[in-house]
Structure 1
Amino acid sequence: MAHTNKQKRLSAWSTPFLLIAVLVVFTLLVTFLGDNSLARMAAQTMIRVTFVVGLWIFVGNSGIVSFGHVGFMAIGAYCSAWLTLRPQMKGMFLPDLWPFLATAEWPVLPAAIASGLLASIVALLAGAAILRLSGIAASIATFAFLAIVYTVYSSWEGVTGATSSVVGLARYADQWVTLGWASVAVLAAAWYANSSSGLALRASREDEVAADASGINMYRHRLISLVISAFFAGVAGALFGHSLGVLNPNSFYLGVTFITLAMLVVGGIGSLTGAVVGVLALSIIIEALVRMEHGMEIGEVTYALPTGAQEIIIGLIMIFVLILRPAGLSGGKELRLRIGAR
Structure 2
Amino acid sequence: MKKQKILLNIGAILGFIILLFILNKTFDPYQKKILNLCGIYVVLGLSMNLINGFTGLFSLGHAGFMAVGAYTAGLLTMPPAMKEMNFFMKPIVPFLAKVEWPFLPALLMAGVVTALVGFLIGSPVLKLKDDYLAIATLGFSEIIRVVFVNIQSVTNGALGLKGLPTHTNVWWSWGTAIVTILFMVFLIKSSYGRAFKAIREDEIAAEAMGISLFKHKVMSFIMGAFFAGVGGALLGNLLGTIDPNMFRFVLTFNILLIVVLGGIGSITGTTISAVVVTVAMEVLRVLDENINLGFVQIKGIPGMRMVIFSLLLMIVILFYQQGLMGTNEFSWDWFSKIKGFKKTPKKEVRQ
Q: 1:71 aligns with which of 56, 64, 70?
A: 64
For the structure 1 residues 206 and 23, does the alpha-carbon distance in structure 2 shift closer, same or farther, using more than 3 Å as the test? farther
Instruction: Pick closer, same or farther for the CA change 1:333–1:130 going to 2, 3 Å.
Output: same
Instruction: Tell me the alpha carbon deviations over residues 125-165 of structure 1, each in whole angstroms, 9 at most, x when there is no partner.
Output: 10001111111211111111111111112233232122213
Summarize the alignment of residues 119-158 of structure 1 with structure 2, pairs less than 5 Å apart: 119-158=114-153
Residue 61 of structure 1 is matched in structure 2 by 54
Task: Map 1:193-342 onto structure 2 (within 5 A).
Answer: 193-299=188-294, 302-303=297-298, 305-338=300-333, 342=342
Deviation by residue 1:270-306 (Cα, 9 ceiling, x = unmatched): 2111110110111121111223324432216554543
- Letter in structure 2 aligned against 1:255: V
Distance 1:291 1:172, change over 3 A: farther
> Structure 1 residues 20, 128: CA separation in 2 closer, same or farther (over 3 Å shift)?
farther
SS at match of 1:173: coil
Moved more, 167-176 or 157-166: 157-166
**TM superposition shift of 1:40:** 1.1
User: Which stretches in structure 1 are left out of the alignment for 5+ residues?
Assistant: 1-5
The alpha carbon displacement at 1:228 in A equals: 1.0
Structure with larger Rg: 2
Say whether the 8 Å CA contact 2:287–2:304 is kept in structure 1.
Answer: no
What is the Cα deviation at residue 30 of structure 1?
A: 4.9
- Of residues 27-36 and 233-242 in structure 1, the stretch that sits farther from structure 2 once superposed is 27-36
Residues 287-333 of structure 1: per-residue CA shift (max 9 Å, x gap) = 11223324432216554543333443343333333321111111321
Residue type of the partner of 2:133? Answer: A
Where does 1:45-56 land on structure 2 (aligned, <5 Å)?
45-56=38-49
Superposed displacement of residue 54, structure 1: 1.4
Q: Which residue of 2 aligns with 1:38?
A: 31
Aligned to 1:178: 173
Amino acid at match of 1:74: A
In structure 2, the CA distance between the partners of 1:304 and 1:225, relative to structure 1 (3 Å rule), is farther
How far, CA to CA, are the matches of 2:297 and 2:165 in structure 1? 37
Q: CA deviation at 1:31?
A: 4.1
Aligned counterpart, 1:105: 100
Q: In 2, Cα distance between the equivalents of 1:271 and 1:338?
A: 17
Cα deviation code 1:97-120 (max 9, x no counterpart): 332211101011100110011000
How many corresponding residue pairs? Answer: 335
Tell me which moved more, 228-237 or 313-322.
313-322
Unaligned stretches of 5+ residues in structure 2: 343-351
| TM-score (norm: length of structure 2) | 0.87
Determine helix, strand or coil for the equivalent of 1:63: coil
Q: 1:60 to 1:24 in 2, by over 3 A?
A: farther
CA distance in 1, matches of 2:301, 2:169: 30
Q: Retained in 1: the 8 A contact 2:166–2:239?
A: yes
Residues 76 and 101, structure 2, Cα contact 8 Å, conserved in 1: yes
CA-based RMSD: 2.7
CA distance in 1: counterparts of 2:253 and 2:304, whole angstroms: 14
Partner of 2:85: 92
For the residue of structure 1 that corresponds to 2:331, the secondary structure is coil
Task: Work out the percentage of aligned pairs sharing the same amino acid.
Answer: 32
State the shift of 1:24 in Å. 4.6
Aligned residue for 2:157, secondary structure, equals: coil
CA apart distance, 1:29: 6.6
Partner of residue 3, structure 1: none
Shift of the alpha carbon at 1:261? Answer: 1.1
Map Cα deviations across residues 168-208 of structure 1 (whole Å, 9 max, x no partner): 11112112221111111111111221121111111111111
73-82 or 321-330: bigger deviation: 321-330
Label 1:337 to 1:173 Cα distance change in 2 as closer, same or farther (>3 A): same
2:348 equivalent in structure 1? none
